[in-house]
Structure 1
Amino acid sequence: MSNPPVIAAVDGSDHSLRALEWARTAALSRGTGLLVAHVLPDVSQLYAGRRSSLHDPNEPARFADPVGDYVRGVLEAAPALPPEVRYEALEGSVPEALRVIAAEAAPMMLVMGSRGRGGFATLLLGSNSRAVATTATCPVVVVPHADRDAPGGAPGGAPADGAPGTYSHGADPHGTAPPAAGASAGRVVLGLHAAETPEDVLLFAFAEAAARGTTVQVVSAYAVPPGPTLIVDSPFQVIPPEALADDGDAVPAEREMLRAQTERLAPLRSRYPQVPVEQAAVPGDAAGRLVDASRSAALVVVGRHHPRRRSLLMGSVANAVLQHAHGPVAVVPALHPDEDS
């Protein structure tokens, strides 16, 4: 594949087929290839190892691969396919096999379901999904199972009309050209810490919005000291950029957060002038706000962890959003960590 492909990790479960469909449409919108990867079941891996060790030419060269055959049939029934579709049957543990193929293929993203065939039905996030999202060298999109779809929303986080309390403006940095009605439906939601989020996370969110022809909603949280009048779960408090120059009625922390957002987003606005942007500064819990926003989002994009903390653990915000979001979540690592040092 000449361009970086989209990898879909499948195991034949309904959860992975939702991820496969999401990956198929993502590859189509980006005009790139689709690499369908699945880890062989234990019995097939044992057979492959036995045949290799015995060097027996009488043994059939091909072993049973029911998942690969089934997925091929599913894609053959799809209304459209990316320019190139390739299949890979992998050996080893699921997280390690997917981590290796992601490192080798250098994909645009790796897409997988939130749960596979194993585990308990009540799990919000499977161990394989968590492990891959925590260690992969590329962005990982986790598509939640159907039970987590927002009421009235489309499957897999497909577009749904707007979110109340959010100020929309077009690519104009002064917010003077609002988009047409419905332009923010199915938006890409970006969780942004203006001082810490790596540039790779912003680039991924804007590129995805450009490919989809939709809006980027940027959500940042600011700390609020506890007080008797604090309102829990209040709607987004948003100030348009043109209002930042006057006194306004917003709290200083909110105004400062919006200023920091505007400064950080300036290079992305120049690079993607066709992408409308919404800015939201919210008090308190960033993860909770992003989960709320996921009800009407096509995709929520978060950074994996602080770029300067060389930890293998996922950040608390990314972990919470993965656990509870109502639609697909992209966990993006710092792809060029040396540049963020």
Structure 2
Amino acid sequence: MIAAVDGSEHSLRALDWACAAAVRHGTGLVVAHVLPDSAQLYVARRSSLADPGAPAEWEDPVAERIRTLLAEASGTPEDVRYESLTGSVPEALRVIGSGARMLVMGSRGRGGFAALLLGSNSRAVSGTAPCPVVVVPHEARDAAAGGTAGPSAGRVVLGLHVEETPDDVIAFALGEAASRGTDLQVLSAYAVPPSPVVVADTPFTVLTPEGLADGADTAPAEREMLRAQSRRLAPHRERAPDTAVAQAAVPGDAAGGLVEASRSAALVVVGRHHPRRSVRGLAIGSVAHAVLHHAHGPVAVVPALSDDV
């Protein structure tokens, strides 16, 4: 488990989330801080001068602060390591994220404008990291949702495109639900023909697979989407029989439904993109992009982790 920090309050919220996740999964935690440009330039200059009086390592004040905070905190993982990284933030975190269970970071760091919902580094890392990236929103976005009850509260919500979402994304969502002992809500969108009458803010109906009888009171397109969900999820549910799954379908775009669900979810899980529609794996899909910008709770952006997609 990796927590990317820069000393800002936003990154400390992400660190809390990562600590709880590491304890829940029984893994170690790497706290990573990419040194600011000024520090990197100083280190490079001292190194080039070959000054025998220069310290062997740069003293990272952010790492020292994190050590102090975790030493005073309760419920932290037993194995914690600190890494001070050099290079650009997206590239440094991409390298250290290789083989990690997940990388956790705040939605906005020290830089940028206060009104931004998502910082440039969070956006770049979400689109390039080789592991799942969890973006934890800053406090103002939580407040807009009425606050949260903690990093483990609520259900896990999966945004599923039945034809395109890789198996890795589904497995990740089921694993997160199982680790919390909660259920998984799966949300998909179905196409609707253009209509002169648009009903705004129509709530979606959540059904269990057992509720998909022929006489269910749902529109044909919605019912077919729910059945397609069931077929897509069947092999995964066999591997996780103890995790309850609820299914929902919304007309049009899934992003709005996922953002609404994020108000009470412990985590929203989306695939990064369809692997065959991206350019060298760097693009981020429109649904993931929208959810990252507007969700009220943590969002996991999961790439295709295997070649079998």
TM-score (norm 2): 0.95
Q: Which residue in 1 is equivalent to 2:137?
A: 144
Residue 268 of structure 1, CA deviation: 1.6
Cα 1:31–1:315 shift into 2, 3 Å: same
Partner of 1:173: none
How much identity, in percent, do the aligned residues show?
Answer: 69
Q: Is 1:254 aligned to 2:248, yes or no?
A: no
d(CA) in 1 for partners of 2:242, 2:109: 38
1:157–1:108 distance in 2 versus 1, CA, 3 Å: same
Matched with 2:254 is: 286
| Match among 71, 78, 83 for residue 73 of structure 2 | 78
| Cα root mean square deviation, aligned | 1.5
Shift of 1:245: 3.6
Q: Where in structure 2 are the equivalents of 1:150-229 lying within 5 Å?
A: 150-154=144-148, 159=153, 186-229=154-197
Paired letter, 1:128: N
Equivalent in the alignment of 1:66: 61
Structure 2, unmatched stretches of 5+, are: none
Between 324-333 and 78-87, the greater mean CA deviation after superposition? 78-87
SS of structure 1 residue aligned to 2:51: coil
The CA deviation at 1:43 is: 2.7
**Which 4+ stretches in 1 moved above 6 angstroms?**
none
Decide whether the 8 Å contact of 1:31 with 1:83 is kept in 2: no
Match of 1:108 among 78, 101, 106: 101
State how 1:11-160 maps to structure 2 within 5 Å.
Answer: 11-103=6-98, 106-149=99-142, 150-154=144-148, 159=153
**2 CA distance for matches of 1:275 and 1:307?**
27
d(CA) in 2 for partners of 1:32, 1:326: 27
Aligned equivalents of 2:190, 2:270: Cα separation in 1: 16
| Structure 2 residue aligned with 1:333 | 303
- In 2, Cα distance between equivalents of 1:306 and 1:216: 22
1:158, CA displacement in angstroms? Answer: 5.3
Cα deviation, 1:185-242, whole Å, max 9, x if unaligned, reads x000000011110000001000111111111000001111232444221111344433
Query: Which amino acid is the alignment partner of residue 152 of structure 1?
Result: G
Q: Structure 1 residues 135 and 38 mapped into 2: Cα distance closer, same or farther (>3 Å)?
A: same
Asked if the contact 1:294/1:300 (under 8 Å) is kept, the reply is yes
Q: Contact (CA 8 Å) 1:188, 1:209: kept in 2 or not?
A: yes
**Equivalents in 2 of 1:49, 1:155: separation in Å?**
45
> Quick check: 313-322 or 54-63, which moved more?
54-63
Q: Could you say which residue in structure 1 is the equivalent of 2:200?
A: 232
Q: Structure 2 vs 1, CA of residues 52 and 296 (structure 1 numbering), >3 Å: closer, same or farther?
A: same
Residue 299 (structure 1) aligned with residue 267 (structure 2): yes
Aligned partner of residue 279 in structure 1, secondary structure: strand
Q: Counterparts of 1:126 and 1:318 in 2: how far apart (Å)? A: 15
Q: Which amino acid aligns with 2:192?
A: V
Distance 1:240 1:99 in 2: 38
SS in structure 1 of the partner of residue 217 of structure 2: coil
Give the match's secondary structure for 1:11.
coil
Distance between the aligned counterparts of 2:71 and 2:5, measured in 1?
16
Cα distance per residue 1:120-157 (max 9 Å; x no partner): 00101000000000001000000010000144332666
Q: CA deviation at 1:65?
A: 1.4
- Unmatched runs of 5 consecutive residues or more in structure 1: 1-5, 160-185
For 1:316, the equivalent position in structure 2 comes to 286
Q: Contact (CA 8 Å) 2:209, 2:246: kept in 1 or not?
A: no
CA apart distance, 1:55? 2.3
What secondary structure is seen at the aligned counterpart in 1 of 2:97? Answer: helix
Distance in 2 (CA, whole Å) between partners of 1:29 and 1:239 is 28
SS in 2 for 1:256: helix
Deviation at 1:99, TM superposition (A): 0.8
Deviations 1:63-107 (A, max 9, x none): 33111111111111111221310000001111111111112xx11
Q: 1 CA distance for matches of 2:150 and 2:193?
A: 36
